Chains A and B, each alone.
Chain A
Amino acid sequence: MSSETRRTEEPPVPASTENASLLAFADHLLAAHKQEETRVSGEVQQHVTFLLHKQEFGIPISHCREILRAGAITRIPEAPAEVRGVVNLRGRIVPVVDVRTCLGLDQAVVTAKTRLVVVEIAGRLFALLVDRVARILKLASSQIDPSPDPARHHAVTGQAKVGEAAIHIVDVERMLLSRPDMRSSADKE
């Protein structure tokens, strides 16, 4: 993490020396510094953020394996409501979990922007179905307000303010494994 932070503080000098771009670069540098000074303290973690119902949610990048387009999803009869089906990830069958349903929102409609964020939890892979992937964002622990929002699902463990945007931080593990039907049972590997 420390090397990541250093990269923002001491970016390589751009190859182009045109005034305009240099100025813009200096502005950017200043803004970055300002932000670091005022807000950033504590452990910095990258987050992948995605949109659900026009709200931005984030999960730590450490859980994420890859991001895919939502191709053909095979429905499995009697699957729990939040499991939309399964996809083939290079020969491995991975359940597709509708994050909207998990968080108590209405079911997602698959569009061209719909993405699958593949996460690994305790050796198991899950493909999280989200409306679209927004950005990759560095968040320091001090930026995240850990107070639970009673109006939200218990897996939403905090909020972060980045500029105008409010990002709801999701504890993926809690979201996926707190449901009794999602837990690993002894007789299935």
Chain B
Amino acid sequence: MTTEIHVDDLFSSLGKDFVDETLPVVEQVSSLVLKLEQAWLSGGDSEGSLREVRGGLHFIKGNSAMMGFSAIAEVAHALEDVCAQAAEPGLEEHARQAELLLAGCDVLAALTRSALTGTVDGAQARDFLRRVAQVEPAEAEKLEAPGPTESAGRPASEPTLDGPAGTRIGDRDIDELLDLAGEAIVGQTELVRVQGRFARGHFDPGDVALMDQVLSDVGRTMRQMRHQLLRSRLAPIATLFQRFVRHVRDLAHDRGQPIELVIEGGQTAVDRAIISRLHEPLVHILRNSVAHGIEPSADRAAAGKPAKATLVLSASVREGRVSISVGDDGRGLDLAAIVAKAKAEGIDTDHLSDRDLQRLIFRAGFSTAKAVSNLAGRGVGLDVVASVVQSLGGTVDVRSTPGKGTLFILDLPVTVSLQKALIFGVDSETYAAPAGFVVDTKEGREKDLQQINRVLLLSWRGDFVRAADAGRLLGCQGLAEPWARPYALVLQAGNKSGALLVDWLSGVQEIVVKPLDASLSACTSVAGATVLAQGRVVPILDCVEVVRRVHATLLPERPAEGRAEEDYVF
């Protein structure tokens, strides 16, 4: 009984190692095949790529045969044969061969992932082998490679590989962490000794200096440890971007139009937890760009644009934030259609700038309606993009120039788990506001507050910002007069600012962000929680939502004192 369990454990850990080792090779082969296909199409030198593809396949075959995954080995073997044919003069049918190789890589990836469970489905492998055996190209057409929808629907097993659970720490990192932990313990022992002397009333003259020294050493050690651990969670974003090369290729193939995906800044390191959540939003954006941004070939020619459309996927890091952008050189957003749709939704568009109009596409359900068919459905799912990005502590923006193209910009933290935040209090409750959104803090003096109609304004930097009482906004008891709060916190999210009136402010500190259970998903003003000293749980504000609400807040109407509460509109 016990031995069996051990064998199972051993196998599952071996299976995981196998997947961790093999899957990157499969992905690499897949992107090499794309390169190979390019070389075939352009008549360039294909030999090098072909050799690399064969090398990768050979590795996969050997590795899976060793683990007893014969189905994977057979598929890899069949693909090697395809490569061999492709290399032989007279047997080249490059379009079909590339198609087969790509489909084969998909099968390999799916089978390899299924190895995590210890069983590999032989039927899928057999289907594919049968397809390779088909000499008739027409027959192969019918079996067509999995379309983009299926490849997008695939990630069921992916999160386990990308998520923090799949984080791998190298032996060297572990050694370093152990050293650091050792140092921390040495420091603690030293402190215990000093504390013992204090408890007995014996003070060494040097003790205070010694304690200062030890505390600063321990502090440094702890920071290093955290830094190390954080680093182990980071991965180059290329691991995610690389998957889109294939995706865009398939989309272009379906449209019968050449589209090039240019990747910039692939080495940018980002938290795996973020990377694993970005797949879906980026797929949405890329599909939108291909389907609705990029014009049909004829239109492009008429506009004097190159026949090959370009998508640029880029990442860069600045001040602890990572910026990911997706740009296309298509027709740009149709502002007239957006205005028409907005009017139909009852949105007052007269006072909105062009930028604000463009941002309307992130509203829920904004362009799902048939009425905007001339907007070409652009915006389907973009509200989903906005909400995923927001839940990661980021923002999404769009910039578009008619006739020139559209650029989507995602602004995200490098890591979700640690953030700098300003701690503040209101009505006996404590909250954290991510520091990235806090632009200023000031005393909430009565003379700085103005009430115009039912809007409360705080004068700030020679201008006015909308202000709201934090207690009311967050549903604490609240005060009758909003200016009874001594401090104001100015938040900025996107291009909107808003001030929260609060009771007290404490400094900026680093907090560990923890997610809330799904039962609290309706609490849109809260992005998570953190634990402060003495184990106290403090909610972290979702500043994008809070600023939105500050703008939606109206003061109670003066005479109706009795009904003040109900009149308070969020």
Q: Is B536 a contact partner of A185 (Cβ separation < 8 A)?
A: no
Q: Which residue of B lies closest to A183 (CB)?
A: B518
Q: Which of B388, B515, B526 contacts A76 (CB under 8 A)? A: B526
B522 touches A86 (CB 8 A): no
CB–CB A92/B514 < 8 A: yes
One digit per residue, 1 when the CB lies within 8 angstroms of any chain B CB and 0 when it does not, for chain A 53-81 equals 00000000000000000001011111110
Contact of B516 among A75, A80, A93, A187 (CB under 8 A): A93
Q: How far is the CB of A39 from chain B (nearest CB, A)?
A: 35
Q: Is A163 part of the contact surface with B, judged by Cβ < 8 Å?
A: no
Given contacts A187-B388, A187-B391, contact A182 B519 (CB under 8 A): yes
- Most B CB contacts (10 A, CB to CB) among A77, A88, A181, A185 go to A77
A86 to B539, alpha carbons, bound, how many Å? Answer: 9
Q: Which residues on the B side are within 8 Å of A76 (C-beta)?
A: 516, 520, 523, 526, 529, 539
1/0 contact trace for A78-91 toward B, CB 8 Å? 11100100111001
Chain B min CB distance to A20 (Å):
46
Cα-based distance from A188 to B474 in the complex (angstroms): 22
Against B, the Cβ 8 Å flags (1 = close, 0 = not) of A154-189 are 000000000000000000000010000111110111
B531 adjacent to A80 (CB under 8 Å): no
Contact with A along B472-490 (1 / 0, CB 8 A): 0011000000000000000
Q: Is B323 an interface residue (CB 8 A)?
A: no
B267 at the interface (CB under 8 A from A): no
Contact present for B521 and A188 (CB under 8 Å): yes
Is B463 at the interface (CB under 8 A from chain A)? no
- Tell me the chain B residues, 383-399 only, with Cβ under 8 Å from chain A: 387-388, 391
Closest chain B residue, CB of each to CB of A188? B518
Find the residue from A72, A124, A125, A189 having the highest chain B CB count within 10 A. A189
In the assembled complex, B446 has its CB within 8 A of some CB on chain A: no
**In the complex, A94 has a CB within 8 A of chain B:** yes
Q: How far is the CB of A88 from chain B (nearest CB, A)?
A: 5
- State the Cβ distance, A179 to closest chain B Cβ, in Å: 8
Q: Which residue of chain B has the shortest Cβ distance to A176 in the bound complex?
A: B519
Given that A80-B522, A181-B519 are known contacts, is A86 also in contact with B387, CB under 8 Å in the complex? no
Are B531 and A88 neighbours in the complex by a CB distance under 8 Å? Answer: yes
Residue of B nearest to A180 (CB): B522
B538 to chain A: closest residue by CB: A74
Interface size on B, residues (CB 8 A): 26
Query: How many whole Å from B363's CB to the nearest CB in chain A?
Result: 17
Q: Give the total of A residues in contact with B, Cβ under 8 Å.
A: 30
Residue in chain B with minimal CB distance to A95: B517
Within 8 Å of chain A (Cβ to Cβ): is B44? no
Q: Within the complex, what minimum Cβ distance (angstroms) separates A26 from chain B? A: 39
User: Is B474 in contact with A86, judged by CB distance below 8 angstroms?
Assistant: no
Contact (A181, B522) CB under 8 Å given A74-B539, A77-B539, A91-B531: yes
For B518, give its contact among A72, A77, A185 (CB under 8 Å).
Answer: A185
In contact, A77 and B474 (Cβ under 8 angstroms): yes
CB distance from B545 to the nearest CB of A (A): 10
Residue of B nearest to A74 (CB): B537
Q: Decide if A93 touches B388 in the complex (CB within 8 Å).
A: no
Q: Which of B488-522 contact A (CB under 8 A)?
A: 514-522
* Cα-based distance from A94 to B548 in the complex (angstroms): 28
- The answer to whether the Cβ of B429 comes within 8 Å of any Cβ in the partner chain is yes
Q: Cβ of B522 and Cβ of A77 under 8 Å apart?
A: no
Q: In the complex where A77-B475, A93-B515, A184-B518 touch, is A86 in contact with B537 (Cβ < 8 A)?
A: yes
With A78-B525, A92-B514 already in contact, the answer to whether A72 and B520 are too (CB < 8 A) is no
Tell me, yes or no, whether B524 is within 8 Å of chain A by CB: yes
Q: Give A91's nearest chain B residue, CB to CB.
A: B531
- A93 near B536 (CB under 8 angstroms)? no
Q: How far is the CA of A86 from the CA of B526 in the complex (A)?
A: 13
Q: A95-B516, A185-B518, A188-B518 are in contact. Are A88 and B523 (CB under 8 A)?
A: no
Q: Taking the complex as formed, is B256 at the interface, i.e. its CB lies under 8 A from any CB of chain A?
A: no
Within the assembled complex, what's the spacing in Å between the Cα atoms of A20 and B163? 63
Are B536 and A72 interface neighbours, CB within 8 A? yes
What are the residues of chain B within 8 A of A185 when measuring CB–CB? 518, 521
Beyond A93-B517, A181-B519, A188-B518, whether A88 also contacts B524 by CB under 8 A is no
List of 5 A-B pairs having minimum Cβ-Cβ separation, nearest first? A74-B537, A184-B518, A182-B519, A77-B474, A188-B518
Question: A181-B521, A188-B518 given. 6 additional CB < 8 A pairs?
Answer: A75-B429, A77-B475, A88-B536, A91-B514, A93-B529, A95-B519
Interface residues of A (CB under 8 A from B): 72, 74-80, 83, 86-88, 91-95, 97, 124-126, 176, 181-185, 187-189
20 A-B pairs with CB atoms under 8 Å apart are A74-B529, A74-B539, A76-B526, A77-B539, A78-B475, A78-B522, A78-B524, A80-B519, A80-B522, A93-B516, A93-B531, A93-B537, A94-B517, A95-B517, A95-B519, A97-B519, A124-B517, A125-B517, A182-B518, A187-B521
